[in-house]
Amino acid sequence: MAKAPANPKAFPTLALETLLIQRVNGPVCGVDEAGRGPWAGPVSAAAVILNPDDLPPGIDDSKALTEKRRAALEPEIKARAVAWGVGFASVEEIEALNILHATGLAMCRAIEALSVQPVAALVDGNYRFKLPCEIQTVVGGDGLSLSIAAASILAKTARDRLMIELDAEYPGYGFAGHKGYNAPVHQAALKILGPCPAHRRSWGPIKALLEEA
């Protein structure tokens, strides 16, 4: 007889959304970001208000999905959600504000882009960003909340698409492949070409290269 796995994969649900909607008596969105750690490119965020009666199947934490699966889910989420929004904070804003506050700025822009404004938001992580609505932080939220998971997909696909555009604008760094993260090909390109305007110049490895120049 086959044994069930000791720790079966748990998929996100609408349980947290349901409890919060009952408390605030209004729309609730999920919020997540992508791109806090890379050496290059903006940070992105997305906000999603899902329709509990029209949920795209297969929504999960974006990190648990393949690029192909994220690409397939993105239009499904956008078409079937009550509302969705995406926001960015630029490399210049990251440098001026620091990555934490720039992430909060991207989240604000994502919420403000919603066609239906939420009363409250479920936000992945434990940091209480200053957002234009009440927030409830959820550690590991992209694996627990369907709304946050949907937001993680939209934030990731939006940023990946922008990094592909930056690859065309600044060829040679491999942005289309590694999306600005640390990778051997990225390190090698930096040694040959030096940083470009898309790089976060206050990041340790980039800062070190500039000081060597």
61 is an annotated ligand-binding site residue:
no
pLDDT at 208: 84
Instruction: Return d(Cα 209, Cα 196) in angstroms, integer.
Output: 12
DSSP 33-80: EE-SS-SBS-EEEEEEE--TTSPPTT---GGGS-HHHHHHHHHHHHHH
pLDDT at 2: 37
Smallest CA-to-CA distance from 151 within 99, 104, 81 is with 81
Smallest CA-to-CA distance from 103 within 56, 172, 159 is with 159
54 is an annotated ligand-binding site residue:
no
Residue type, 185: V
Query: With respect to CATH, is domain 15-212 assigned 3.40.50.970?
Result: no
Contacts 24+ apart (CB under 8 A), 62-70: 62/32, 62/34, 62/142, 62/149, 62/152, 62/153, 62/155, 62/156, 62/157, 63/142, 63/152, 64/143, 65/153, 67/160, 70/153, 70/156, 70/157
| Ranges under pLDDT 50 in the chain | 1-6
Q: Which two tokens stand for residue 191?
A: 């040694």
Other beta carbons less than 10 A from residue 44's beta carbon: 29
pTM for this model (two decimals) = 0.94
3-class SS of residue 10: coil
- pLDDT tens across 38-49, in order? 999 999 999 999
pLDDT at 68: 97
Instruction: Return d(Cα 149, Cα 201) in angstroms, integer.
Output: 30
32 is an annotated ligand-binding site residue:
yes
